[in-house]
Amino acid sequence: MNIVISGSTGLIGSQLVSTLAGQGHLVVPLARSPAGAAAGAVVWDPERGTIDAQGLERRDAVVHLAARNIASGRWTPEVKAQIKETRVKGTRLLCEALARLSDPPKVLVSASAIGYYGQRGDELLEEGSTPGEGFLAETCREWESATEPAAGKGIRVVTMRIGVVMSPKGGALARMLLPFRLGLGGPLGSGRQYMSWISLDDIAGAIVYALSHEELSGPVNGVAPNPVTNAEFARILGKVLRRPAIFPMPDFAARLAFGEMADELLLAGARVAPAKLAAAGYRFQHPDLETALRAVLAG
């Protein structure tokens, strides 16, 4: 397949590029820098609203992952606006360009997140579950809606609602490793909130699977089949690292340190199931957390 990927240098994008290249696919970055065009990249600038639409012609597929990291700083009004804009504006620009093509790709896999479901306690959530409330849920709804021009063109669109990615290379796990290795880790808040996680290998695998399985369309939950509570996560991570995990961070301390982000990212939770991936026959490399952590932290 001939596949264009935005966000190809990010945590998930890098793994996806490696996976696809290893399978013999041609991977073309959707890059912001004109310098990348010399290497065969398709150039775009979401902030200015420009994109080389001609470079998208006659491609088999597009994977759209580019967006600002939601945990890159405290959520000031300006940061929240940038988080939403990089997702919604960039996705709309890309999908409107795809809709104008004479020979468009057959499939678009566009990132979304399980933040769509909001704070839902222990309710089991599948792709047909109603959206939640709050900044992340609102952002995810608009993010997914921005793919409508591509779907209207007849492109099969998959919005991959990605969970907490387990990798020491970046994301939540990378930030947790130092305190846990020092024996200072523990649950956040009550510890009862669910973490719906997925290994880096499996989220790349799920995206590749979605590209080639036509029965997958619309929202698809990119999570492992066994979510855990935050307290369970802390216990298992401590076990894998052979360190105690007995120092909880109270709600007030999390809010003091992280502001509004604490309530939506750290103290909230959603118990999400990969119903569509399971029905389509995807086989997880790391279906349980301990296996996943031992694999990614080996050595």
Domain, as residue range, for 161 = 2-296
| pLDDT at residue 299 greater than cutoff 90 | no
* C-beta pairs of 6-10 under 8 Å, 24+ apart in sequence: 6/30, 6/44, 6/62, 6/63, 6/64, 6/65, 6/66, 6/90, 6/94, 7/64, 7/65, 7/66, 7/67, 7/111, 8/65, 10/65, 10/66, 10/170
Indicate if the alpha-carbon torsion angle 113, 117, 119, 122 is positive or negative: negative
Taking residues 22-51, what's their average pLDDT? Answer: 86
pLDDT band at 71 (very low <50, low <70, confident <90, very high): confident
CATH of the domain at 97: 3.40.50.720
- Give me the number of domains the chain comprises: 1
Beta bridge partners of 111: 160
Indicate if the alpha-carbon torsion angle 205, 206, 211, 212 is positive or negative: positive
pLDDT band at 38 (very low <50, low <70, confident <90, very high): low
pLDDT of residue 261: 72
pLDDT of residue 35: 61
Tokens coding 181: 């290795």
Q: End-to-end alpha-carbon separation of the chain, Å?
A: 34
φ, ψ of residue 218 in degrees (nearest 5): 70, -155
What's the rounded Cα separation, in Å, for the pair 27 and 40? 10
Tokens coding 53: 């639409």
Residue labelled with tokens 């007995």: 246
Taking residues 15-19, what's their average pLDDT? Answer: 96
pLDDT per residue over 270-286, tens digit each?
999 999 999 999 999 99
What's the rounded Cα separation, in Å, for the pair 66 and 299? 30
Q: Give the torsion through C-alpha atoms of 284, 224, 280, 18, to 10 deg.
A: -60
Closest by CA to 275, choosing from 212, 224, 209, is 224
What's the rounded Cα separation, in Å, for the pair 160 and 265? 18
Tokens coding 46: 């979401």
pLDDT band at 6 (very low <50, low <70, confident <90, very high): very high
Choose the weakest-confidence range: 29-33, 53-57, 160-164.
Answer: 29-33
